[in-house]
Structure 1
């Protein structure tokens, strides 16, 4: 059984996408990040960076003690290896998949996240920051669009953890001030993943757990007011 500590963010969706695709048994333990539940001591023992998602594999392959894991990319890699799915055994395809997984972790996610912050959540508009991150998000979309020009999925013919990592960060493209019409190969890939039954199930779960709503000021302070003192309190 996989215990998934989850909230309805792009990084959280990566893991529900995988679990719904793979059929691995799991249960969701919601962590409401707007209410500060990510600072609970029990959660911090699993995820010391006070971020979701995190998992605990209560039945690891070695038969030993439960394995806790944080960071969405590491979780995807672990689950792929555990299940033997969505990560090719061919060394070249495997490396291709992993480099695009890390591309998302180091580029698409952080840049789109800053795009969201300055475009939606910042207390006042900062034109330079908005322009900077909208342009960088567009550049990354173009990189992915070019990659998908001659293949159905990011690592080739087969759906993989690289696709699962990237897709949730494209879902809010309008909020990122992007148009999929500008990226036809990306748009084709996006629609193919959107229609997968596991994707539909994963996003239906998100709707049940957290209805989309604007963040209030208290939630913004919890999410965006953290510093070194926050960590030391834990």
Structure 2
């Protein structure tokens, strides 16, 4: 049994995508990041970086005590090895092709698109230099992805993998990142194919169950908790 500590963010979706694909039993523990639940002492024992997602595997393969992990990329790699799915186990080249694209997401798409979201949606005042910087870098990264998908069915080759699961929750938000989907036709087809997967639909159905107030992260208090923006310094419209 996997205990998943989760909120309805792109990084949180990565893990529900994997768990729904594999059918690995899990219990969902919502961590409302707009209410500061990520700072609770019990959660910090699992995720000392006070970020979701995090997991506790109650039955790790070594037969030892429950194993806790934070960082979405590490979690995906661990679960793929645990189940033997969505990451090649015996083909060295295929395995590291998948991992390089997973790490590409962790080191590139996630941070750059995340800053894109921040300066476009959450910053208390518009900063044109920052907005332009991250919009352009997001476009560059999606150009890399589009080129890869021009000759591959999936990001790492012929098979759907944890690389696709890691990239998809960020790439599907292209519109809010001020991107033009027509600039990335191969990525657009890939997004449609992933969205049609039943496991993906089940994973995203959790959003309406868990996050009943999508605007909760837009409040002044939530911004203070998430970004250090003072509650008495409300964001510009």
Q: Structure 2 length as normaliser, TM-score?
A: 0.94
Cα deviation per residue 1:118-139 (whole Å; 9 max; x = unaligned)? Answer: 0111001000000000000000
Q: What is the aligned partner in structure 1 of residue 152 from structure 2? A: 151
Q: Give the secondary structure class of the aligned counterpart of 2:176.
A: coil
- The 1-side partners of 2:94 and 2:181 are apart by 27
Offset of residue 213 of structure 1: 1.9
Q: What is the aligned partner in structure 1 of residue 125 from structure 2? A: 124
Which residues in structure 2 correspond to 1:5-16 (within 5 Å)?
Answer: 5-16=5-16
Which residues in structure 2 correspond to 1:52-71 (within 5 Å)?
Answer: 52-71=52-71
- The 2-side partners of 1:61 and 1:11 are apart by 25
Q: What is the aligned partner in structure 1 of residue 234 from structure 2? A: none
Cα deviation per residue 1:100-146 (whole Å; 9 max; x = unaligned)? Answer: 00000000000000000001110010000000000000000000000
Cα deviation per residue 1:156-195 (whole Å; 9 max; x = unaligned)? Answer: 1100000000000012111100121110110111100011
- The 1-side partners of 2:209 and 2:133 are apart by 35
Cα deviation per residue 1:41-89 (whole Å; 9 max; x = unaligned)? Answer: 0000000000000000001112110000000000000000000000012
Q: What is the aligned partner in structure 1 of residue 189 from structure 2? A: 188
Q: What is the aligned partner in structure 2 of residue 27 from structure 1? A: 27
Cα deviation per residue 1:8-65 (whole Å; 9 max; x = unaligned)? Answer: 0000000000000011000100000000000000000000000000000001112110
Q: What is the aligned partner in structure 2 of residue 87 from structure 1? A: 87
1:217 matched to 2:185? The reply is no
- The 2-side partners of 1:94 and 1:13 are apart by 22
Q: What is the aligned partner in structure 2 of residue 173 from structure 1? A: 174
Q: Which runs of 5+ in 2 are unaligned?
A: 230-237
Which residues in structure 2 correspond to 1:30-49 (within 5 Å)?
Answer: 30-49=30-49
Tell me the number of residue pairs that the alignment of Structure 1 and Structure 2 aligns.
226
Q: What is the aligned partner in structure 2 of residue 230 from structure 1? A: none
Instruction: Report which stretch shifted further, 52-61 or 205-214.
Output: 205-214
- The 1-side partners of 2:174 and 2:151 are apart by 22
Offset of residue 95 of structure 1: 0.4
- The 2-side partners of 1:83 and 1:48 are apart by 26
